[in-house]
């Protein structure tokens, strides 16, 4: 009798546990159905809102790009700043706060790079691809770069870079890797109107001849910022401090 009673108790407990599990699974299924319905409603509401916003927003008006027909190179943009301003002079040594200068939007047309040919053999700068950072500069005169020496190569061009930028003369990797020809650093200021020449160094043991029409360097346009110089007694501390060459590792 005791064994039969224990068996009946175990069966009763297992039955209650099974019923409890079934009940909990049913509640969980109900909650999942409610959550799914709420999520679908939220997604539908979001999509409807985006569609209504898109329909009510007017399309942006496209402005016509101005045409540039420069008969010759413009005057230096720096000449515009030579006229003294009494108001700016009085406040030149004071720290002021104001509205940041407007930044040219990508959608607006970029100012052109103005180029004037000085010789018949001169070629306008070109870009090798749509995403090339620099403009290739071409030789306008045959020039020999002596072994272990250097020489200036004419481009036959006068260039006016857009205001707020400068032109950096950079080397071409092909000349360096194949012929050991390196390019001397060059800067074309916005007010420079003379002929652009490229300084080439020959690190090989043989002379190197640059022919007319050869690509000799790259012209990269970079934005510049020229604030007023202010002499102070102390500078703000930094993590690096006065650590010089090699202080941050090799």
Hey, which bits of the chain come out as E strands? 114-117, 135-138, 143-145, 150-160, 165-170, 181-183, 186-188, 195-202, 208-210, 215-223
Q: For the chain (length 250 residues), average pLDDT per consecutive 10?
A: 66 78 80 70 64 60 55 53 47 49 62 95 95 96 97 97 94 88 92 95 95 96 94 89 69
Cα torsion 207, 117, 193, 189 to 10°: value is -60
pTM recorded for the entire structure: 0.54
Report the pLDDT value the prediction gives residue 10, as an integer from 0 to 100.
76
Give every CB contact of residue 187 below 8 A, 6+ residues apart in sequence.
166, 167, 168, 169
Distance CA 151, CA 145 (A): 6
For domain 112-221, give the fold. Answer: Deoxyuridine 5'-Triphosphate Nucleotidohydrolase; Chain A (2.70.40)
Report the pLDDT value the prediction gives residue 58, as an integer from 0 to 100.
61
First to last CA, the chain: 88
Report the pLDDT value the prediction gives residue 83, as an integer from 0 to 100.
46
Could you tell me the residue ranges of all domains in the chain? 112-221
């Amino acid at each position: 009798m005791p064994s039969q009673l224990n068996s009946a108790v175990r069966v009763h407990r297992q039955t209650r546990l099974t019923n409890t599990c079934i009940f909990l699974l049913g509640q969980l299924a109900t909650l999942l159905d409610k959550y799914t319905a709420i999520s679908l409603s939220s997604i539908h509401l979001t999509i409807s809102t985006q569609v209504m916003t898109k329909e009510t927003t007017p399309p942006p008006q496209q402005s016509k790009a101005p045409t540039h027909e420069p008969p010759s190179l413009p005057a230096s943009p720096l000449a515009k700043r030579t006229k003294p301003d009494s108001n700016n002079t009085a406040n030149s040594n004071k720290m002021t706060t104001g509205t940041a200068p407007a930044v040219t939007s990508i959608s607006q047309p970029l100012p052109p790079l103005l180029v004037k040919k000085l010789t018949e053999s001169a070629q306008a700068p070109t870009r090798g691809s749509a995403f090339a950072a620099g403009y290739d500069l071409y030789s306008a005169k045959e020039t020999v770069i002596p072994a272990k020496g250097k020489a200036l190569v004419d481009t036959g061009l006068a260039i006016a870079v857009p205001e707020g930028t400068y032109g950096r003369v950079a080397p071409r990797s092909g000349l360096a890797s194949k012929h050991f020809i390196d390019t001397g650093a060059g800067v074309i200021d916005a007010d420079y109107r003379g002929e652009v020449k490229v300084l080439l160094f020959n690190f090989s043991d043989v002379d190197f001849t640059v022919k007319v029409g050869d690509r000799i360097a790259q012209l990269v346009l970079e934005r510049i910022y020229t604030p007023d110089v202010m002499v102070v007694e102390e500078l703000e501390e930094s993590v690096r401090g006065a650590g010089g060459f090699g202080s941050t590792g090799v």
